[in-house]
Amino acid sequence: MHLNVTDRHQAKEPSEYNLSLTITDDASNTVTREWTIIISDGSGPTIIPNIISNGTPISPESPARAGEDITLSLTESFDDLDAIDDLSWEVRVDGQVIVETDLWSEVEKLPLPLHEPATYLIHIIAWDSVDNMEQISFGLAVSPALGVFPSVLDHHVIGDLVEGEVINIIVTMGNTGADIGSGVLCSGTVCSDEVVVSPADPSGPGVFSAELFLNLNNTDPIDLRFVWSSDSAGSDGVLEIKNDYVVVSQWQMPMQVLLGVLSVLMLFAWLAHRTWGVESQRP
């Protein structure tokens, strides 16, 4: 490791030691023997990985993020004796082989197919010319992209969609961005209390909910929107929330009940006629 990268990538001769032993007796008779000891290579290559995201080595302050160009750099790796060009390599991501090669140029700077926020298992194997092997594994967390990117996960209404009633609309949303924000759920000029827009992390989007109590003064369609902003991301926006809620007028509700009852009675009459014939309908 005291050599620079270029020198470490060159082939090196095995270490040799000359051992000489001289024995002399009381009569000054002397015998000398000499040996040459060659230290052979019995270990695999030294693997030194670095992760680069958008041209910058990752760190706790600068993690790899979704949407960035993430590269595995093996430039600092080496073998005790073999030249770097004489090594063989295999790289896996979550158990899937993404490269298997004897060409150093194909693996020295290897783009990694890491496009979504998650924690990935990187496994690297290297062999030298006499099949000594070394391998390492490590987890790589890819953080969400910076920003706020809200979307609707679910929405539902508590209460009756009848003119004059008060309903509670609950909207559950997800933020796939790494920034925190805040926002309000609105319909017309009525808005909810402010809620926190949770940030995403490598395990998934930040999930949050907003509740809006709405007095149904008319039967117009219910427009819903989530108005948000983020100081850390320096951005804001409006998320339109599509829905198929239908508000009915007060006079329609009794009519709907009456029609429902008549439908049930007609069904019973039809079933009786099918079962017992005309006689079943006589007094």
Domains 50-142 and 150-241 agree in fold: yes
CA distance 46 to 87: 11
Specify burial of residue 210 (Cβ count, 10 A radius: 0-12, 13-18, 19+): buried
| pLDDT in 10s for each residue of the chain, 283 residues | 567 888 888 888 777 788 888 899 888 889 999 988 877 777 899 999 999 999 999 998 999 999 999 999 999 999 989 999 999 999 999 999 999 999 999 999 999 999 999 999 999 999 999 999 999 999 999 999 999 999 999 999 999 999 999 999 999 999 999 999 999 999 999 999 999 999 999 889 999 999 999 999 999 999 999 999 999 999 999 999 999 999 988 765 555 555 666 676 677 766 766 676 555 445 5
Of 143, 121, 125, nearest to 134 by C-alpha is 125
Q: What is the pLDDT of residues 99-137, one digit of tens each?
A: 999 999 999 999 999 999 999 999 999 999 999 999 999
* Cα distances (Å, whole numbers) of residue 77 to 11, 88, 106, 121: 13, 12, 14, 19
**What pLDDT shows up at residue 280?**
47
pTM value?
Answer: 0.71
Burial of 41 (0-12, 13-18, 19+ CB in 10 A): middle
Residue 9 confidence (pLDDT): 87
User: Closest Cα partner for 38 from 16, 53, 55, 58?
Assistant: 16
What does the DSSP 8-state code read for residue 200?
Answer: P
Domain covering 50-142, topology: Immunoglobulin-like (2.60.40)
> Domain map of the chain by residue range?
5-39, 50-142, 150-241, 256-281
CA terminus-to-terminus distance, the chain: 107
Instruction: Report d(CA 177, CA 190) in Å as an integer.
Output: 27
CATH topology of domain 150-241: Immunoglobulin-like (2.60.40)
Question: Which pLDDT does position 138 carry in this prediction?
Answer: 97
In tens, the pLDDT along 258-273 reads 566 667 667 776 676 6
pLDDT value at position 236? Answer: 97
What token pair was written down for 212? 């809006």
Using an 8 Å Cβ cutoff, are 126 and 45 in contact? yes
Residue 68 is predicted with a pLDDT of 95
Quote the CA–CA distance of 200 and 214 in Å, as a whole number. 30
